[in-house]
Amino acid sequence: MSRGGFGGFEEFEGFRSLVGPWSMYARSFNGQGEGRPVVLVHGVVVAGRYMMPTARVLARHRPVYVPDLPGFGRSRGPKKPLDIPELAGALAGWMTAAGLEKADLVGHSFGCQTVSGVAARWPGRVGRLALLSPIGDPDNRSLPDHVWRWVRDCRREPLSVWGSYAGGFLRFGPRRAIGTLRHSTRDEMEVRLSSIETPTLVVRGDLDTIVGHSWAEKTASLLPNGRLAVMPGAPHNVNYKTPRALSRILLPFLDGET
């Protein structure tokens, strides 16, 4: 394990786990948190790095882990982009390798498709589930439209998030990025939501141009134990721009208080 700092974030330990043929990198936080661990799962192109603001806040209350999925960030992966079932399998395999028999899973954007895949296939591994800014609207499967919505949303994000996108894109590469986005637009998340009995919180920022309110409502309604929370004044990256406000919503839910 290697210790590291991250621009003022809580101290964390970076470690690698062998998951099948891939070496996956993850961060664990040395906070004062107790109870069931929380795993934060990133979106497309970017990696666990941009989940760190929320991880820092949650680590004061819970053990927190932030993995990079295979092919993202510091994790190694195949040349071809993995599809959603493959990424869900890799995440479940990483949990086993990291010694996490059961955890609360928090996915953001594309990460919602991955964590919902784990909850649907291995429900016993997931305590509670949170879907932040979940993409996957079956009425919006156009790749160009996704890109345009992303460009519009970026105008409402902190400038630093542009750096995360740019750095992730350079490491990820255009072919892998486009291939992963195609997997995302083809994924029928709406089909598996009805099979997920895990208590689930759906969170959407009311300024999000990527995830419409109607899809966020539908996501929550398709889940047998789903509920929706809307964050005023928040864009798509609620985990990055508004981590404290987000944590005030997440923690009571993860603790079973709401």
* Per-residue pLDDT tens digits for 65-112: 999 999 888 999 888 889 999 999 999 999 999 999 999 999 999 999
**What SS3 state is found at 25?**
strand
In whole angstroms, give the CA distance from residue 186 to residue 198: 24
Residue owning tokens 């099979």: 195
**Quick one: DSSP state of residue 62?**
S
Q: How large a percentage of the chain has pLDDT more than 90?
A: 63
What is the reported pLDDT for 222?
98
* Per-residue pLDDT tens digits for 17-33: 999 999 999 999 876 67
In whole angstroms, give the CA distance from residue 220 to residue 200: 8
b/e sequence 76-108, b meaning 16+ C-beta within 10 Å: bbeeebbbbebbbbbbbbbbebbebeebbbbbb
Residue 43: pLDDT over 60:
yes
Residue 152: pLDDT over 80:
no
